[in-house]
Structure 1
Amino acid sequence: MDADVIVGAGTRVQNGVNIYKGVEVGSWCFVGPGVVFTNDQHPRVGRDNWEITSTFLDDGSSIGAGAIIRCGIRIGAFAMIGAGAVVTKDVPPFCLVTGVPAEQTHRICACGETTLPLISWVDELIRPCCHKHLNPKVLQIAQEKVRGLEKRAS
Protein backbone atom coordinates (compact mmCIF):
# COMPACT_ATOMS: atom_id res chain seq x y z
CA MET A 1 0.00 0.00 0.00
CA ASP A 2 1.40 3.36 -1.07
CA ALA A 3 1.72 6.49 1.08
CA ASP A 4 -1.39 8.58 1.72
CA VAL A 5 -3.84 5.83 0.70
CA ILE A 6 -7.11 6.18 2.61
CA VAL A 7 -8.87 2.99 3.75
CA GLY A 8 -12.13 3.19 5.71
CA ALA A 9 -13.17 1.34 8.85
CA GLY A 10 -14.08 -2.32 8.53
CA THR A 11 -12.51 -2.67 5.07
CA ARG A 12 -10.68 -5.88 4.24
CA VAL A 13 -7.73 -5.82 1.82
CA GLN A 14 -6.47 -9.28 0.82
CA ASN A 15 -2.96 -10.45 -0.13
CA GLY A 16 -1.08 -9.16 -3.17
CA VAL A 17 -3.16 -6.00 -3.64
CA ASN A 18 -1.49 -2.91 -5.14
CA ILE A 19 -3.10 0.32 -3.93
CA TYR A 20 -1.32 3.51 -4.96
CA LYS A 21 -1.46 7.11 -3.78
CA GLY A 22 -4.68 8.75 -4.93
CA VAL A 23 -6.93 5.79 -4.14
CA GLU A 24 -9.57 6.19 -1.44
CA VAL A 25 -11.38 3.11 -0.18
CA GLY A 26 -14.58 3.65 1.82
CA SER A 27 -15.78 1.75 4.88
CA TRP A 28 -16.75 -1.92 4.87
CA CYS A 29 -15.28 -2.62 1.43
CA PHE A 30 -13.69 -5.86 0.26
CA VAL A 31 -10.64 -5.83 -2.02
CA GLY A 32 -9.84 -9.36 -3.19
CA PRO A 33 -6.41 -10.90 -3.68
CA GLY A 34 -4.27 -9.60 -6.51
CA VAL A 35 -6.37 -6.50 -7.27
CA VAL A 36 -4.40 -3.72 -8.97
CA PHE A 37 -5.24 -0.01 -8.89
CA THR A 38 -3.53 2.52 -11.15
CA ASN A 39 -3.03 6.23 -10.49
CA ASP A 40 -1.55 7.69 -13.69
CA GLN A 41 -3.69 8.38 -16.80
CA HIS A 42 -0.64 8.80 -19.07
CA PRO A 43 2.25 6.72 -17.70
CA ARG A 44 5.53 7.64 -19.34
CA VAL A 45 9.05 7.60 -17.97
CA GLY A 46 10.70 11.01 -17.99
CA ARG A 47 7.59 13.18 -17.86
CA ASP A 48 8.12 16.29 -15.76
CA ASN A 49 4.43 16.94 -15.10
CA TRP A 50 3.23 13.59 -13.76
CA GLU A 51 -0.17 13.87 -12.03
CA ILE A 52 -1.98 11.50 -9.72
CA THR A 53 -5.50 10.67 -10.89
CA SER A 54 -7.78 9.78 -7.97
CA THR A 55 -10.01 6.72 -7.69
CA PHE A 56 -12.81 6.30 -5.14
CA LEU A 57 -14.51 3.17 -3.81
CA ASP A 58 -17.71 4.02 -1.99
CA ASP A 59 -18.80 2.24 1.19
CA GLY A 60 -19.66 -1.45 0.95
CA SER A 61 -18.18 -2.03 -2.51
CA SER A 62 -16.48 -5.37 -3.29
CA ILE A 63 -13.77 -6.12 -5.81
CA GLY A 64 -13.12 -9.70 -6.87
CA ALA A 65 -9.70 -11.34 -7.14
CA GLY A 66 -7.38 -10.14 -9.87
CA ALA A 67 -9.48 -7.20 -11.02
CA ILE A 68 -7.73 -4.16 -12.48
CA ILE A 69 -9.13 -0.74 -11.62
CA ARG A 70 -8.19 2.12 -13.95
CA CYS A 71 -7.55 5.44 -12.25
CA GLY A 72 -10.03 8.30 -12.30
CA ILE A 73 -13.16 6.27 -11.69
CA ARG A 74 -15.72 5.95 -8.93
CA ILE A 75 -17.06 2.60 -7.78
CA GLY A 76 -20.48 3.16 -6.23
CA ALA A 77 -21.74 2.03 -2.86
CA PHE A 78 -22.28 -1.72 -2.55
CA ALA A 79 -21.21 -2.29 -6.16
CA MET A 80 -19.54 -5.60 -6.95
CA ILE A 81 -16.68 -6.10 -9.40
CA GLY A 82 -16.30 -9.65 -10.72
CA ALA A 83 -13.00 -11.50 -10.46
CA GLY A 84 -10.60 -10.63 -13.28
CA ALA A 85 -12.65 -7.67 -14.51
CA VAL A 86 -10.91 -4.65 -16.02
CA VAL A 87 -12.80 -1.58 -14.82
CA THR A 88 -12.38 1.39 -17.17
CA LYS A 89 -15.40 3.53 -16.26
CA ASP A 90 -17.53 4.46 -13.26
CA VAL A 91 -19.63 1.72 -11.68
CA PRO A 92 -23.05 2.79 -10.34
CA PRO A 93 -24.09 1.90 -6.78
CA PHE A 94 -25.51 -1.60 -6.23
CA CYS A 95 -24.38 -2.82 -9.68
CA LEU A 96 -22.48 -5.96 -10.65
CA VAL A 97 -19.87 -5.58 -13.40
CA THR A 98 -17.85 -8.35 -15.04
CA GLY A 99 -15.59 -8.88 -18.02
CA VAL A 100 -12.88 -7.16 -20.03
CA PRO A 101 -13.72 -4.36 -20.24
CA ALA A 102 -16.13 -4.57 -17.31
CA GLU A 103 -19.80 -4.04 -18.18
CA GLN A 104 -22.90 -3.90 -16.01
CA THR A 105 -24.71 -7.22 -15.96
CA HIS A 106 -27.11 -6.83 -13.03
CA ARG A 107 -28.02 -4.79 -10.03
CA ILE A 108 -27.09 -6.49 -6.80
CA CYS A 109 -28.54 -6.36 -3.30
CA ALA A 110 -26.53 -4.89 -0.43
CA CYS A 111 -25.26 -8.25 0.84
CA GLY A 112 -24.34 -9.43 -2.66
CA GLU A 113 -26.40 -12.61 -2.49
CA THR A 114 -29.21 -11.64 -4.88
CA THR A 115 -28.76 -10.37 -8.43
CA LEU A 116 -31.54 -8.23 -9.85
CA PRO A 117 -32.37 -6.93 -13.33
CA LEU A 118 -30.65 -3.66 -14.23
CA ILE A 119 -34.05 -1.93 -14.25
CA SER A 120 -34.84 -2.90 -10.64
CA TRP A 121 -36.49 -0.43 -8.30
CA VAL A 122 -34.34 1.15 -5.62
CA ASP A 123 -36.52 -0.35 -2.87
CA GLU A 124 -35.45 -3.85 -4.00
CA LEU A 125 -31.78 -3.29 -3.10
CA ILE A 126 -32.21 -4.20 0.57
CA ARG A 127 -33.69 -7.70 0.70
CA PRO A 128 -34.41 -10.23 3.47
CA CYS A 129 -31.02 -11.85 2.80
CA CYS A 130 -29.33 -8.51 3.57
CA HIS A 131 -30.98 -8.38 7.01
CA LYS A 132 -29.75 -11.93 7.60
CA HIS A 133 -26.14 -11.53 6.35
CA LEU A 134 -25.07 -7.94 7.07
CA ASN A 135 -24.06 -6.71 10.48
CA PRO A 136 -26.25 -3.85 11.78
CA LYS A 137 -23.64 -1.13 11.03
CA VAL A 138 -23.27 -2.19 7.40
CA LEU A 139 -27.04 -2.62 6.97
CA GLN A 140 -27.55 0.92 8.26
CA ILE A 141 -24.99 2.29 5.78
CA ALA A 142 -26.71 0.39 2.95
CA GLN A 143 -30.10 1.80 3.95
CA GLU A 144 -28.64 5.34 3.98
CA LYS A 145 -27.14 4.82 0.50
CA VAL A 146 -30.51 3.57 -0.81
CA ARG A 147 -32.24 6.64 0.66
CA GLY A 148 -29.69 8.80 -1.19
CA LEU A 149 -30.55 7.02 -4.44
CA GLU A 150 -34.27 7.53 -3.79
CA LYS A 151 -33.73 11.28 -3.29
CA ARG A 152 -31.78 11.53 -6.56
CA ALA A 153 -34.51 9.62 -8.41
CA SER A 154 -37.32 11.91 -7.23
Structure 2
Amino acid sequence: MTIQHRASAAERHRQLQALELRAAGDDYDTIAEKLKYADRSGPYRAVEAVLRRRESAAAEDLRRLEDHRLDTHTARLAAELQAIPVGSDPMAVARLIMAQLRVSERRARLHGLDLDYRHHSVNVGASGGLESLKAEWTRLMEVSTARPDIQALEAPHEG
Protein backbone atom coordinates (compact mmCIF):
# COMPACT_ATOMS: atom_id res chain seq x y z
CA MET A 1 0.00 0.00 0.00
CA THR A 2 1.38 3.39 -1.00
CA ILE A 3 0.82 6.44 1.17
CA GLN A 4 0.14 9.55 -0.89
CA HIS A 5 1.83 12.68 0.46
CA ARG A 6 0.14 15.94 -0.43
CA ALA A 7 2.48 18.91 -0.29
CA SER A 8 1.46 21.77 2.00
CA ALA A 9 1.06 25.25 0.54
CA ALA A 10 4.43 26.29 2.00
CA GLU A 11 6.11 23.19 0.58
CA ARG A 12 4.55 23.79 -2.87
CA HIS A 13 5.77 27.40 -2.73
CA ARG A 14 9.32 26.21 -1.93
CA GLN A 15 9.10 23.66 -4.77
CA LEU A 16 8.07 26.43 -7.18
CA GLN A 17 10.98 28.56 -5.96
CA ALA A 18 13.33 25.65 -6.69
CA LEU A 19 11.85 25.30 -10.17
CA GLU A 20 12.24 29.01 -10.88
CA LEU A 21 15.87 28.98 -9.73
CA ARG A 22 16.56 25.92 -11.91
CA ALA A 23 14.94 27.64 -14.89
CA ALA A 24 17.18 30.65 -14.21
CA GLY A 25 20.19 28.37 -14.58
CA ASP A 26 21.13 27.56 -10.99
CA ASP A 27 22.46 24.06 -10.37
CA TYR A 28 20.91 21.86 -7.69
CA ASP A 29 23.75 22.47 -5.19
CA THR A 30 23.22 26.23 -5.43
CA ILE A 31 19.44 25.87 -5.09
CA ALA A 32 19.91 23.64 -2.04
CA GLU A 33 22.05 26.32 -0.42
CA LYS A 34 19.67 29.18 -1.28
CA LEU A 35 16.51 27.37 -0.15
CA LYS A 36 18.11 25.59 2.83
CA TYR A 37 17.72 22.02 1.56
CA ALA A 38 20.01 19.46 3.23
CA ASP A 39 21.65 18.50 -0.07
CA ARG A 40 21.18 18.66 -3.85
CA SER A 41 18.62 15.86 -3.88
CA GLY A 42 16.04 18.08 -2.12
CA PRO A 43 15.70 20.69 -4.87
CA TYR A 44 15.93 17.97 -7.52
CA ARG A 45 12.94 16.17 -5.98
CA ALA A 46 11.13 19.50 -5.56
CA VAL A 47 11.52 20.38 -9.26
CA GLU A 48 10.47 16.87 -10.29
CA ALA A 49 7.36 17.14 -8.08
CA VAL A 50 6.28 20.39 -9.76
CA LEU A 51 6.95 18.92 -13.20
CA ARG A 52 4.89 15.84 -12.33
CA ARG A 53 1.99 18.00 -11.12
CA ARG A 54 2.18 20.21 -14.21
CA GLU A 55 0.64 22.97 -12.15
CA SER A 56 2.73 25.84 -13.30
CA ALA A 57 3.53 27.80 -16.42
CA ALA A 58 7.06 27.96 -15.02
CA ALA A 59 7.18 24.15 -15.19
CA GLU A 60 6.32 24.23 -18.87
CA ASP A 61 8.88 26.99 -19.42
CA LEU A 62 11.54 24.88 -17.70
CA ARG A 63 10.54 21.86 -19.78
CA ARG A 64 10.96 23.91 -22.99
CA LEU A 65 14.29 25.30 -21.78
CA GLU A 66 15.59 21.83 -20.85
CA ASP A 67 14.36 20.50 -24.21
CA HIS A 68 16.36 23.22 -25.95
CA ARG A 69 19.45 22.33 -23.91
CA LEU A 70 19.00 18.65 -24.77
CA ASP A 71 18.55 19.52 -28.46
CA THR A 72 21.86 21.40 -28.31
CA HIS A 73 23.59 18.39 -26.74
CA THR A 74 22.04 16.05 -29.30
CA ALA A 75 23.24 18.16 -32.23
CA ARG A 76 26.76 18.48 -30.76
CA LEU A 77 27.03 14.74 -30.13
CA ALA A 78 25.75 13.93 -33.63
CA ALA A 79 28.33 16.29 -35.16
CA GLU A 80 31.12 14.76 -33.08
CA LEU A 81 30.05 11.27 -34.11
CA GLN A 82 30.05 12.25 -37.78
CA ALA A 83 33.54 13.74 -37.43
CA ILE A 84 35.11 10.46 -36.31
CA PRO A 85 36.82 8.85 -39.32
CA VAL A 86 35.83 5.29 -40.22
CA GLY A 87 38.13 2.78 -38.55
CA SER A 88 39.47 5.17 -35.93
CA ASP A 89 39.09 5.08 -32.14
CA PRO A 90 36.20 2.67 -31.42
CA MET A 91 36.01 3.80 -27.80
CA ALA A 92 35.33 7.38 -28.92
CA VAL A 93 32.35 6.13 -30.92
CA ALA A 94 31.10 4.09 -27.98
CA ARG A 95 31.48 7.05 -25.57
CA LEU A 96 29.50 9.35 -27.89
CA ILE A 97 26.73 6.79 -28.33
CA MET A 98 26.50 6.28 -24.56
CA ALA A 99 26.39 10.05 -24.04
CA GLN A 100 23.53 10.31 -26.52
CA LEU A 101 21.68 7.52 -24.71
CA ARG A 102 21.99 9.49 -21.48
CA VAL A 103 20.57 12.59 -23.21
CA SER A 104 17.66 10.48 -24.51
CA GLU A 105 17.03 9.05 -21.04
CA ARG A 106 17.04 12.56 -19.57
CA ARG A 107 14.53 13.74 -22.17
CA ALA A 108 12.27 10.77 -21.42
CA ARG A 109 12.37 11.54 -17.68
CA LEU A 110 11.72 15.23 -18.36
CA HIS A 111 8.52 14.36 -20.18
CA GLY A 112 7.46 11.55 -17.85
CA LEU A 113 7.84 8.84 -20.44
CA ASP A 114 8.21 5.30 -19.18
CA LEU A 115 10.71 3.78 -21.52
CA ASP A 116 11.90 0.22 -21.22
CA TYR A 117 15.66 0.63 -21.09
CA ARG A 118 17.55 -2.51 -22.01
CA HIS A 119 21.27 -2.70 -21.50
CA HIS A 120 23.18 -3.88 -24.51
CA SER A 121 26.85 -4.66 -24.71
CA VAL A 122 28.92 -4.04 -27.80
CA ASN A 123 32.29 -5.59 -28.50
CA VAL A 124 34.08 -2.43 -29.59
CA GLY A 125 36.96 -4.47 -30.94
CA ALA A 126 34.77 -6.44 -33.35
CA SER A 127 35.61 -5.58 -36.93
CA GLY A 128 32.74 -3.86 -38.67
CA GLY A 129 30.44 -4.18 -35.66
CA LEU A 130 31.13 -0.74 -34.33
CA GLU A 131 30.97 0.89 -37.76
CA SER A 132 27.54 -0.63 -38.39
CA LEU A 133 26.44 0.55 -34.93
CA LYS A 134 27.76 4.04 -35.72
CA ALA A 135 25.90 4.05 -39.07
CA GLU A 136 22.65 2.93 -37.43
CA TRP A 137 23.00 5.49 -34.64
CA THR A 138 23.69 8.24 -37.19
CA ARG A 139 20.54 7.24 -39.08
CA LEU A 140 18.51 7.36 -35.86
CA MET A 141 19.99 10.73 -34.94
CA GLU A 142 18.97 12.17 -38.30
CA VAL A 143 15.42 11.05 -37.61
CA SER A 144 15.40 12.40 -34.04
CA THR A 145 16.84 15.80 -34.96
CA ALA A 146 14.17 16.32 -37.62
CA ARG A 147 11.68 17.59 -35.04
CA PRO A 148 8.07 16.79 -35.97
CA ASP A 149 5.48 19.50 -36.34
CA ILE A 150 3.93 19.35 -32.88
CA GLN A 151 0.77 21.16 -33.95
CA ALA A 152 0.20 18.61 -36.71
CA LEU A 153 0.62 15.80 -34.16
CA GLU A 154 -1.78 17.44 -31.71
CA ALA A 155 -4.44 18.30 -34.34
CA PRO A 156 -7.58 16.15 -34.07
CA HIS A 157 -7.75 13.39 -36.63
CA GLU A 158 -10.72 13.33 -38.96
CA GLY A 159 -12.57 10.12 -39.07
Which range, TM-score by smaller chain? under 0.3
Higher helix content, 1 or 2: 2
Higher RCO (Cα < 8 Å, 6 or more apart): 2
For normalisation by structure 1, the TM-score amounts to 0.24
Higher Rg? 2
Higher strand content, 1 or 2: 1
